Amino acid sequence: MEINERIIQVLAQRLAQAEANLAQAIALLEAAQERERVLQKRLDELTKEGACPPTEAG
């Protein structure tokens, strides 16, 4: 049973690392989305003020 227990231990460690990686990826994605919202809001403000021409992006 030792080998099976070791396999389970290794798999549990890998799962924990994968979960941590996923959480980090989600946090980075959420931060990028928030930054995109902030930049879009600022672009909209500048466009409304006439400081830059409207874009087709979006």
Could you read off the pLDDT of 15-57 as tens digits, one per residue? 999 999 999 999 999 999 999 999 999 999 999 988 777 776 5
Output the pLDDT for position 53.
75
Output the pLDDT for position 43.
94
pTM to 2 decimals?
A: 0.72
Output the pLDDT for position 57.
56
The full set of domain ranges for the chain reads 1-50
- Please work out, in degrees rounded to the nearest 5, the angle formed at the alpha carbon of residue 33 by the alpha carbons of 29 and 36: 140
Q: Which residue has the higher pLDDT, 8 or 52?
A: 8
